[in-house]
């Protein structure tokens, strides 16, 4: 369809690609008429060099052309943490591309098995009263974070694999009177090599990330603003009440029990 829209024959495409290949001094940019026929029949798929030639000849944007093969470069940052599900990462994905962002349960299922990540974006109709704000008339800057499978800083209050909701307008540790652990501010923090989520305290020029008292994690100390910067305050979270390992263990036990009963 693209070739017909340009009123080009297969032979003309071949000749144009030869000129491109000559200019690039690289025969990989050359497209033969026979190969083009196979491509248009869906028998072959183009290399990156041939896509470049077709983009030039058909006057179609390179990125639009590769989308015909279900390759969307906008997904690179969004899918990056899937390749590394255990470390803290930042996802610069648009909120409306994830879908159902106002429902943490839906967001959590879409992020299953990903690393700790931050989904930046603004929710235009957020109406809840946020901690530290006297009025809920203004719309807060909301982002969503995902706690990585190796991040046990706030365990068991916030388990690995949980979704957290972040007010990005609250970027400084607050000294507030806490009657219990749930009133103590939790922050999502950007580090030089990743991200973290936990209680925070400032000691001089140092920012301390303090784990939950039942967590196996230790207090971490960073130079404030140089090595660690607060993304925002966690204002809500969606966490499991049973660990994944425990669920899998229970499932194996149930399966073993069923097997023994059936054998008996």
Tens digit of each residue's pLDDT (9 = 90 or more) over 142-164: 888 888 888 999 999 999 888 88
State how far Cα 182 lies from the chain centre: 27
The larger pLDDT score, comparing residue 113 to residue 21, is at 21
Mean pLDDT across the chain: 79
Give the pLDDT mean for 71-85.
Answer: 76
pLDDT tens digit sequence for 171-218? 998 876 677 888 899 999 999 888 999 999 999 999 999 999 999 999
Interatomic CA distance for residues 191 and 53, integer angstroms: 42
Q: List the structure tokens of 42.
A: 């869906």
Read off the pTM: 0.56
- Confirm if 49 and 26 have CB atoms less than 8 A apart: yes
Q: List the structure tokens of 52.
A: 């470049």
For residue 220, pLDDT over 90 is answered with yes
| CA 21 to each of CA 93, 124, 236: distance values in angstroms, whole numbers, following the listed order | 36, 50, 56
Give 67's DSSP letter: G
Give the pLDDT mean for 25-38.
Answer: 96
The larger pLDDT score, comparing residue 260 to residue 42, is at 42
State how far Cα 242 lies from the chain centre: 24
Q: pLDDT at position 105, please?
A: 45
Contacts of 259 (CB under 8 A, 6+ apart): none
Domain architecture of the chain: domains with CATH: 2-69 (1.10.260), 84-245 (2.10.109.10)
Q: pLDDT at position 132, please?
A: 44
Q: List the structure tokens of 23.
A: 């200019």
């Amino acid at each position: 369809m693209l070739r017909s829209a340009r009123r080009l024959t297969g032979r003309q495409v071949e000749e144009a690609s030869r000129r491109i290949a000559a200019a690039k001094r690289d025969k990989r940019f050359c497209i033969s008429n026979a190969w083009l026929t196979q491509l248009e029949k869906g028998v072959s798929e183009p290399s990156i060099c041939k896509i470049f030639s077709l983009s030039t000849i058909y006057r179609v944007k390179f990125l639009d052309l590769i989308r015909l093969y279900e390759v969307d470069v906008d997904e690179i940052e969004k899918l990056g943490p899937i390749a590394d599900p255990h470390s803290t990462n930042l996802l610069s994905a648009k909120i409306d591309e994830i879908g159902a962002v106002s429902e943490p349960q839906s967001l959590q299922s879409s992020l299953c098995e990903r690393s700790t990540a931050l989904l930046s974006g603004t929710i235009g109709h957020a109406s809840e009263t946020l901690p530290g704000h006297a009025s809920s008339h203004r719309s807060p800057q909301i982002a969503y974070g995902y706690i990585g499978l190796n991040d046990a800083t706030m365990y068991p209050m916030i388990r690995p694999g949980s979704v957290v909701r972040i007010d990005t307008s609250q970027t400084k540790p607050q000294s507030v009177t806490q009657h219990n652990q749930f009133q103590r501010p939790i922050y999502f923090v950007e580090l030089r090599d990743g991200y973290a989520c936990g209680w925070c305290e400032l000691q001089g020029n140092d920012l301390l990330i303090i784990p939950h008292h039942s967590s196996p994690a230790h207090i971490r100390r960073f130079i404030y603003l140089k090595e660690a910067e607060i993304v925002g305050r966690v204002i809500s979270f969606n966490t499991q009440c049973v660990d994944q390992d425990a669920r899998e263990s229970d499932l194996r036990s149930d399966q073993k029990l069923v097997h023994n009963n059936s054998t008996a």
